[in-house]
Amino acid sequence: MNEEIQTLDKSYYKVKRGVSGLGFFAAKDIKKGDWIIEYIGIIKKNEDVVGDTTKYLFDVNGKFTIDGSPRYNTARYINHSCKSYGNAVWKIVNDRIYIRATKNIKQGQEITFNYGKEYFDAYIKPHGCKCGACKVKK
Ligand SMILES: [Zn+2]
């Protein structure tokens, strides 16, 4: 049950400017199924973040939330993408959040995942989505 997650080392990714602002890019080829990075931050009780509109809050288990806004949380730079356009997903394992590759990702490609409907409706919809999938539609 206590699966130990081994994430990739920092040489596999880098933050740089992309089409939708800062983004999170593969610096080396990443294989489907690889655990890319952990989403880290300050652990807060859910009751203490009610009404908090910080974008980087991530409910882990209904009891506590990870506030991923500190800059040391490199995973905060991973941009949202709609539908199956992204190449990663987030998974909760042992109350920790990890980003996992759902496709083979080539060096230089941006890594994105779907943030979920709740987040989308609150933070993305009001400004219009700039993800790859939505750009193609236009
Ligand atoms: Zn989109």
Strands in 35-39's sheet, in edge-to-edge order, are: 35-39, 96-101, 88-93, 112-113, 79-80
> Does a structural domain hold residue 2?
no
- Name the H helices within the chain: 117-119, 132-137
Q: How far is the CA of 47 from the centre of ligand 1 (A)?
A: 31
Q: Which residue has the tokens 């009891």?
A: 63
CA of 84 to the centre of ligand 1 (A): 10
The amino acid sitting at 12 is: Y
22 CA distance to ligand 1 middle (Å): 16
Distance 86 CA to ligand 1 centre (A): 10
> What is the 85 CA–ligand 1 centroid distance (Å)?
9
Coil vs helix vs strand at 130: coil
- pLDDT value, residue 67: 95
Residue 5 domain flag: no
Domain around 38:
10-126
Is residue 4 assigned to a domain? Answer: no
Count structural domains, the chain: 1
Give dist(CA 120, CA 126) in Å, integer.
Answer: 9
Taking the alpha carbons at both ends of the chain, their separation in whole angstroms is: 45
In angstroms, what is the span from residue 45 Cα to ligand 1's centroid? 30
In a domain, 133, yes or no: no
- Per-residue model confidence as pLDDT tens for the chain (138 residues): 566 899 999 999 999 998 778 999 999 999 999 999 999 999 999 999 988 888 899 889 999 999 999 999 999 999 999 976 789 999 999 999 999 999 999 999 999 999 888 889 988 999 899 888 887 655
Residue 106 belongs to domain with CATH number: 2.170.270.10
User: Rounded to the nearest whole angstrom, what is the distance from the C-alpha of residue 123 to the centroid of ligand 1?
Assistant: 12
Output the CA 65–ligand 1 centroid distance in Å. 25
Kindly state the tokens that stand for 105. 């990702």
Say which residues have a Cβ less than 8 Å from residue 55's Cβ, sequence separation at least 6: 69, 123
CA of 129 from ligand 1 middle (Å) equals 5
Residue 37, both tokens: 């990075």
- 105 domain residue, yes or no: yes
- Spacing of C-alpha 83 from chain mean position: 14
